[in-house]
Amino acid sequence: MRNNRVVITGLGVVAPNGTGVAAFNEALQQGKSAIKFHEKLKELNFRCQIGAKTNVEQSYKEKLLPDFFIGKVRNNAIINACLSGMEAWLDAGLTPNENGVDYESGIVFGAGDLSFDDAKAPNEAPTVLIDAGNNRRLGSRSISECMNSGASAYLNNILGLGNRIVSNSSACVTGSEAILVGYEHIKNGKAKRMICGSTESDGHYIWGGFDSMRVLCSDSNENPSFGSRPMSATSSGFVPGGGSGALVLESLESAQERGAKIYAEILGGEFNSGGQRNGGTMTAPNSEAIVACIKSALAEADIDPKEIDLISGHLTSTKGDPIEVQNWVTALGRSGEDFPYINTPKSMIGHSVGGAGSIELVASVLQMEHGYVHPNLNCEELHPEITRLISSDRVPTEMVSKKIDTVIKANFGFGDLNCVLVLRKWSNK
């Protein structure tokens, strides 16, 4: 069994506050919120009438996607996956295979819900067409655009890769899990490179279920940008979002052979489950399992918790945020002024569920690459249970210019699922 070192050589993103890596990086530094009021949600009697949607210009699609794709694929989650994937692939200095198959490269691209609604005939819901006996009007792509493997399948239709093509779906853990699965595949010598990421659609058909659970923010319909406030004393639920992130992972040997730019190295990671026992449920985490997951990731990365400069947390702007911070304190053995910086872009882009982990990992790499910690919006009044654990300056509300060498990233999802990754800024030393 080989033990390859695995590095990140390409980045791509379609986020609500920025299409493309450059725009997203600028938005993170500026603390730009993309959370808006949506009249349609009000018309449909949603309690939460705000959300963060992507807005991709046609010219950007034409720049990155082939002609046969434009105007034919309607599913926004698939379109965004292919856009972020193509940006990452090109950023890594790679090109699609026009002829032949690249058997040394593969894909792990997950999705939370590709949304059957996005694959509908224009202005006609699939369920209505089927119930009316008009299923033939669904179109030949209705299945391929709604299946969870649709994102990886359409992306590979463009790239022509022949290694493992994997489509994972693990709720909010999906994005970080996709990167960890790709990392392990390369580490074990099964591929030279993998393009890994995740995507989530947006809109009322997906958001309706969360609204019915009363887990969404409903107190900021008249002040949308204040809705998502992770770690705040007044957090009242998460704001839904959408989008996609992608990273090209590659063995160090392959990257150096190609002379590729290397952003960071993945030092290690872990994913586990709390078994929905000992406090863990379908929607609540088992803290013991989370602490174990963090410690296992650190052990595989072979680093001391003192080396961590930044925690990219899950932190959804719910009552779970103080519990998450307590778990970090317990797992790292650091608190007060000794605690690392901690942030999440969810205060700007909401929670994109299946797309969250990959988008947040792109944000983590960008902060290492450019030397800053992006702000946590709406967090001037920290939750009292958090101020009891860590110093308030560890939760910056404005951008902090700082060299970031080591980031630990985590996501926690429905089903009592946990995933943690440890990244280090690349150095030739």
Higher pLDDT, 142 or 177: 177
User: Among 51-55, 71-75, 292-296, 321-325, where is mean pLDDT lowest?
Assistant: 71-75
Q: Are residues 252 and 334 in the same domain?
A: no
* pLDDT tens digits along 157-211: 999 999 999 999 999 999 999 999 999 999 999 999 999 999 998 888 889 999 9
- CA distances (Å), origin 89, targets 102, 192, 317, 322: 13, 14, 33, 38
Question: Does residue 132 carry a pLDDT above 90?
Answer: no
CATH code at 381?
A: 3.40.47.10
Domain that holds residue 182: 6-258
Q: pLDDT for 325-337, tens place per residue?
A: 999 999 999 999 9
Res 217 pLDDT > 80: yes
User: Which tokens belong to 85?
Assistant: 């994937």
Helix ranges (H only) for 160-247 are 174-187, 204-213
- 35/196 Cα distance (integer angstroms): 26
3-class secondary-structure state, position 30: helix
Number of domains in the chain: 2
Model pTM score:
0.96
Q: For residues 98 and 134, what is the distance between their CA atoms, to the nearest angstrom?
A: 37
152 pLDDT more than 70: yes
- Do 284 and 403 lie in one domain? The reply is yes
Please give the residue that has the higher pLDDT: either 144 or 334.
Answer: 334
Query: 224-264: per-residue pLDDT in tens?
Result: 999 999 999 999 999 999 999 999 999 999 999 999 999 99
Band (pLDDT 50/70/90 cuts) for residue 107 is very high
Q: Is residue 239 domain-resident?
A: yes
Closest-CA residue to 317 (of 30, 50, 27, 32):
50
Question: Per the domain annotation, does 285 fall within a domain?
Answer: yes
Which amino acid makes up residue 105?
S
Q: What are the φ/ψ torsions at residue 314 (nearest 5 degrees)?
A: -80, -60
Pair 181, 47 in one domain: yes
- Asked whether residue 87 carries a pLDDT value surpassing 80, the answer given is yes
Residues 253 and 133 in one domain: yes
Q: What number of other Cβ atoms are within 10 A of residue 223's Cβ? A: 12
Nearest to 419 by CA among 357, 374, 363: 357
The model's pLDDT over 88-101, given as tens digits with 9 standing for 90+, comes to 999 999 999 988 99
Q: What is the mean pLDDT of residues 382-395?
A: 98
Q: Which of 107, 125, 14 is nearest to 64 (CA)?
A: 14
Q: Confirm whether 71 is domain-assigned.
A: yes
The answer to whether residue 139 sits within a structural domain is: yes
**Final residue in a domain of this structure, among 230, 258, 286:** 258
Report the range of poorest mean pLDDT among 67-81, 159-173, 347-361: 67-81
